[in-house]
Amino acid sequence: MKITKEETLALYKKMLTVRAFEEKAGELFAKNLIPGFIHLSIGEEASSVGTCSVLNKDDYVASTHRGHGHLIAKGADPKKMFAELFGRITGYCKGKGGSMHIADFSIGILGANGVVGGGFPIIIGAGLSIKLRKTDQVGIVFFGDGAANRGTFHEAVNMAAIWKLPVVFVCENNLYASTTPADYSLAGGSIAGRAAAYGIPGYNANGNDILEVREIVGKAVKRARDGKGPSIVENKTYRYRGHFEGDPQKYRTQKEIEGFKDKSDPIQLFKTILKKEGTLSDQADKNLREEVYSMIEEAVRYAQKAPLPKPEEALEDLFINP
């Protein structure tokens, strides 16, 4: 896929934004400043940013419990996201959702989801709606390797295939479903490989290489937009943090984590490419990081100063016509 220098830098900046957001969220959580629990996507930025970079504003995204990256990548406002994490009234969901339930319908984000595999049926509905309304939109559902074992996955892929829905199933295979390794729980060993059973394309991508993710998801999105039906893309990636913040991570070694950080960090890999082609100097990188990290600090300041909801506002927003 063709890409200009400006676009490449914008992608790089977006990846830095996701990482900065997640690092800051982890830091605030560790200080007990964020209630509940959070799932961070550090290490998976090429998948979220690469995928959303080939989408239009009115395309739909069904996200997951590990959804901060998808939101930022699709264009959500980190201020309103942090405000939600802090349970403030100015948050995306007025403090009713929290980390696992952020949505922004104005940019097609149909919501993160607290139920693993909960996004599949919803994106089928979005796909059907697109088809019935005869628009050129596309729906993306992000999911992990664990969700590929839910019945919803199989029902949804089958439905999308028989109706040729404009949907792309984007798996972020980070090797672990919570604590359970994919090589233990995944029959056949390949999520992309399952596409063959439904007669649709299945693609493997190096999920840490943003240009490859863009290329492959872009192909699947074009196919969907052209009315040729759904595809499965399996972005092979890795999460650096636990399943949730505070996860003791007895299921893997520190050595394994460090290995991924050293050899296949998505931001580092992209930076190397950008430096090599002369798009990004060390100084420009430093400036960009400063800009991004200070923007995130500003978002946190905004969120911490934002008002809390009134307790009785818990009774609002259930029905449109009570």
Residue 145 to residue 185: CA distance in whole angstroms: 9
Q: What dihedral do alpha carbons 11, 13, 16, 22 form, nearest 10°?
A: -90
110 lies in the site for other proteins, by CB under 8 A: yes
Binding flag, residue 129, other proteins (CB under 8 A): yes
Q: What three-state secondary structure class fits 62?
A: strand
Q: How far is the CB of 83 from other proteins (least distance, A)?
A: 11
Could you tell me the smallest distance in angstroms from the CB atom of residue 124 to other proteins?
4
Strand extents, DSSP E, the chain:
60-62, 139-144, 167-173, 176-177, 180-181, 202-206, 231-236
- 197 lies in the binding site for other proteins (CB under 8 A): no
Cα first-last separation, the chain? 49
Tokens for 97? 């959702």
130 binds other proteins (CB under 8 A): yes
* 142 makes contact with other proteins (CB under 8 A): no
87: left (phi over 0), alpha (psi -120 to 50) or beta: left
Binding of residue 158 to other proteins (CB under 8 A): yes
- In sequence order, the 6+-apart residues with CB closer than 8 A to the CB of 73 are 14, 18, 48, 49, 51, 52, 53
For residue 263, which phi and psi values (nearest 5 degrees)?
A: -95, -30
The answer to the question of residue 125 lying near other proteins (CB under 8 A) is: yes
Does 164 contact other proteins by CB under 8 A?
no
Choose which of 10, 75, 77, 101 interacts with other proteins (CB under 8 A). Answer: 101
Question: Of 61-80, which residues contact other proteins (CB under 8 A)?
Answer: 62
Nearer to other proteins, 99 or 264 (CB): 99
Contact pattern from residue 28 through residue 57 relative to other proteins, giving x for each residue in contact according to CB under 8 A and a dash for the rest = ------------------------------
Q: Considering the complex, what minimum distance in angstroms separates the CB of residue 79 from other proteins?
A: 15
Quickly count: other Cβ atoms within 10 Å of residue 154's Cβ: 16
310 touches other proteins (CB under 8 A)? no
Indicate whether 132 belongs to the interface with other proteins (CB under 8 A): yes
- Binding residues for other proteins, rule: CB under 8 A, are 60, 62, 91-97, 101-105, 110-111, 113-115, 118, 120-130, 132-133, 139, 151-152, 155-156, 158-159, 162, 316-322
